[in-house]
Amino acid sequence: MSQFDFPRINFHGKAFLDTPTANNGYIPFITMFDQSESGVFVPPRIYFDDQHQPPQGFPILKDNNNVPYVPIPITLDDFQQWATTPLGSYPADAGYLDYYKTLGNYNMNPGYWNYYGDLSIATKDVFVTGLTINNADNKPVTYTKDNIADCTDPIASLFGAEFSFNDDYFSPKARTTAYMCDVDSEGQLCTQIFCSQAGLYLANNNSNTTFFKGRPVKSTVHFMNINRVLNYAEKIPMGGSATFYSMLEVDSDSEIMQLIKPHVKGEVGGLFIKLMIHEVFEVRNPDYSTMPVKQINTVRGNKIPVPKNPAKVSITGSITPWFSGDMKTNSISRIMKNAAADIYNIDFSNNKIDPAYPIPKGSPALGIPTSVNLGPVPFVVQPFLSLLTLDLSNMLTEYGADPGEIPSFAGATDIPPFETFHTYDYGQLDIYFQPDSGGTPVLMGSVTHGDNYSMDRFLENAGMIDLPLTAINYMQGYFYMQTGTKRLLTENDLYILTDQQGMYAEQNQQQANLYMVDGLPLVPCTIRAFNRGVPISALEPVTITVQGANMSTGNVTNYPNTQIYDGLQYTFPVDTEGCTTYVFPTNTDENFPTAPGTAPFVYFAMNAPIFVCRVLSAEPELEPYLSGQQPVTWEVIFNYVLQLYKTVYPIMDAELPIEESVWNDAFIQSKISELTNLNNWNEPMFMPLTRDMSATQRQLLQMWIAQSQQINNQF
């Protein structure tokens, strides 16, 4: 059951997401990243629509799909400078100034807000804020700063410990080992976290304690709440939340295992981490000339300044026991969802907004929408503990208060960060069970803002709520949640998920049913499918229409009459390159919306069971080089392999200059061979970190290295 188990070690703190942004695709009409081919467009392109036609005199070309575009006269030599200069301000595209104003992207940076991001996640002050354990009467108790002195159990020593991704926590030179990248490089529906070490530590009176450290499995985003921060939800697409789950094995004699063993029954196989990213703040339109810089080490042994503008976020989560049979990147549970038609109306009356923390005024961007979709609530029924346990963490919405200073390098359209956040008061949340046979629903319990989900309570219990369970057959009915007479969430009988949510394949690969997920060996995609928490038998499968959507084009392919059951190994097409988001709808609201970016898409992104498969191009144009018909020169390597990383992911060019003199060095070539070896695919520093280099590109690069080393050995 994972995050629902006891004991729960709850934590909260801050983090910095050093996201590279050139491929985010949020600059209207400007395209530099080729999603299908994982390449770069040089020169970049301006695509237009019926309302924004190019003025006369502009060159109009057509792409491989016969779609017209206007090229921007930018070369490789000036690409990075152009990407960090407001559109129309760089000499090479100054002639497009009036056109940019017409398109509505004038003064935006083509590389967006953090062009030199390195994909790292660096935690800061992530401390244990609450410990939830079962007492002798099987009643959960959460110990916090207010009552930790009452906890006589040795587990109390965990309170105040720090959760970290650093490689050597107690060293001042420690570095993070966690990196984040998307399977869909232009989307956000399948973000992954690769990490080589996560741990829990305590430095106290010069006595260092490592409660645990280990390598988590690759984690892929599961739940999202795009409307998480209400102030940002209406007009600014940031401030959402996303939950990641990951399992890691730890030594049975580790400190943490000794502390949790008295609180569990059965053999603990490892630890399960729930990590939710929320309260995201980004300076969206920075001035790169005044942006703070970070001194980074290059392979040449010198330091160079690189502009850095990472996103600032909060992370909240829990560490719980993991048992054999549990999923590793998800939780087996039941689920309640907000029906698309039952969006929650924000109510400003009855002190729903605490008068002590009012909504900031003075900027329309800081307004609050009148209604929002709510995130889903996974839950479990635990008869052996007489408990109904719900995870509200990603359903709750927040609002920011106490606006801080706008960073000095921010643009005119940027907004201030919030110094504090407060969970929105929905009122009393009542959880009911409705028997299938009809009749009066049974009130299971109630949750209030003050007692259960205020910001203080949320940070202490990580959004977990335990309610007493009465003796009812809970398979013969469904649960729902409401406030007053307003229905908020209703149980969705079907719950479809997988541990292989983010998959990579090679175009036309021989074993079409095996995918790269978390390193070698390749594995099938195994469907986990449940009806009210019970695995769906292959003898009684459910029939749905699976959908495959290309998020870049909006094209949708339907696969009707697909029979789904628990343990099914599902095969995705690998004949066409590109990234496809597969949807396994459990109700009609979860079908892929016809208009991405609209309210239906928000509901879809928050609720639909999504699997993403990226098929890396076979690159048939490389065949003459791979077969030996054409020589493999540095120019070939640059044009077909490395050009992307000099333009779209330029941090790599900063640290390891993409120049022949550097890459021809024997030591560098040895490191590149190691970092591109598939045996190291699940290492955070695998090259490229984005995992978007195809097998043929990798083969070409390795062929060039072998050829170069052979030539160098002759002299």
Q: What's the CA gap between 399 and 149, in Å, rounded? A: 32
For residue range 253-305, what is the model confidence (pLDDT) as tens digits?
999 999 999 999 888 999 999 999 999 999 999 999 999 999 998 887 789 99
Task: Tell me the pLDDT band of 530, cut-offs 50, 70 and 90.
Answer: very high
Task: Tell me the pLDDT band of 235, cut-offs 50, 70 and 90.
Answer: low
- Give the distance from CA 119 to its chain's centroid: 12
Q: Are strands 293-297 and 224-225 parallel, antiparallel or unpaired?
A: unpaired
Residue 25 has pLDDT above 80, yes or no: no
Report the predicted TM-score, pTM, of the whole model to 2 decimal places: 0.94
Q: Are strands 610-616 and 502-506 parallel, antiparallel or unpaired?
A: parallel
Residue 8's pLDDT is what?
97
Residue 402 has pLDDT above 80, yes or no: yes
Q: Is the peptide bond before 688 cis (omega within 30 degrees of 0)?
A: yes
* Average pLDDT score over the chain: 91
Short-list 177, 136, 148, 126, CA closest to 11: 126
Burial 101-123 (b: 16+ CB within 10 A, else e): ebbebbebbbbbbbbbbbbbbbb
Domain boundaries, the chain: 2-20+116-491, 30-103, 494-616, 621-713
- For the ranges 499-508, 549-558, 684-693, the lowest mean pLDDT is seen at 549-558
Mean pLDDT score, 111-116: 96
Mean pLDDT score, 535-563: 93
Q: Are 653 and 306 in contact (CB under 8 A)?
A: no
Q: Are 511 and 524 in contact (CB under 8 A)?
A: no
In terms of phi and psi (left: phi > 0; alpha: psi -120 to 50; beta: otherwise), the region of 261 is alpha
Q: What's the CA gap between 313 and 421, in Å, rounded? A: 12
Q: Which long-range contacts (CB under 8 A, 24 or more apart) does 166-173 make?
A: 166/123, 166/197, 166/199, 167/196, 167/197, 169/199, 169/201, 169/210, 169/213, 170/201, 170/203, 170/208
Short-list 703, 269, 329, CA closest to 503: 329
Q: What's the CA gap between 715 and 713, in Å, rounded? A: 5
Residue 189's pLDDT is what?
86
Q: Are 687 and 676 in contact (CB under 8 A)?
A: yes
56, 61, 67, 72: CA torsion to nearest 10: -80
Mean pLDDT score, 33-52: 89
Residue 686's pLDDT is what?
95
Q: How far is CA 632 from CA 11, 39, 292, 620, in A?
A: 52, 19, 40, 15
Residue where the block lists tokens 């949640």: 481
Q: What's the CA gap between 114 and 22, in Å, rounded? A: 8
Burial 168-186 (b: 16+ CB within 10 A, else e): ebeeeeeebbbbbbbbbbb
pLDDT: is 84 or 186 the higher one? 84
Alpha helices in 264-314 (DSSP H): none
Please tell me whether residue 87 adopts helix, strand or coil conformation.
coil
pLDDT: is 134 or 322 the higher one? 322
Residue 50's pLDDT is what?
84
Please tell me whether residue 512 adopts helix, strand or coil conformation.
coil
Residue 512's pLDDT is what?
92
Task: Tell me the pLDDT band of 631, cut-offs 50, 70 and 90.
Answer: very high
Q: Are 496 and 542 in contact (CB under 8 A)?
A: no
Q: What percent of the chain has pLDDT over 70?
A: 95
Mean pLDDT score, 81-99: 95
Residue 392's pLDDT is what?
97
Residue 193's pLDDT is what?
97
Residue 609 has pLDDT above 60, yes or no: yes
Q: What's the CA gap between 515 and 260, in Å, rounded? A: 36
Q: Where are the beta strands (DSSP E) in 352-485?
A: 371-372, 377-382, 387-391, 398-403, 418-423, 429-435, 442-447, 464-468, 477-483
Task: Tell me the pLDDT band of 628, cut-offs 50, 70 and 90.
Answer: very high
Residue 99 has pLDDT above 80, yes or no: yes
For residue range 635-671, what is the model confidence (pLDDT) as tens digits?
999 999 999 999 999 999 999 999 999 999 999 999 9
Q: What's the CA gap between 711 and 314, in Å, rounded? A: 52
Q: What angle do CA 681, 682, 687 make, to 5 degrees?
A: 45
627's tokens: 């077969």
Backbone angles phi, psi at 430, to 5 degrees: -105, 130
Q: Are 156 and 148 in contact (CB under 8 A)?
A: yes
- CATH domain 494-616 topology: Immunoglobulin-like (2.60.40)
**Residue 345: count of CB within 10 angstroms of its CB:** 10
For residue range 415-462, what is the model confidence (pLDDT) as tens digits?
888 889 999 999 999 999 999 999 999 999 999 999 999 999 999 999
Question: Using the 8-state DSSP alphabet, how is residue 453 labeled?
Answer: I
For residue range 338-380, what is the model confidence (pLDDT) as tens digits?
987 778 887 655 445 655 555 554 444 466 788 888 999 999 9
Q: Are 295 and 304 in contact (CB under 8 A)?
A: yes
Q: How far is CA 505 from CA 186, 508, 515, 622, in A?
A: 18, 9, 5, 18
Residue 236's pLDDT is what?
62
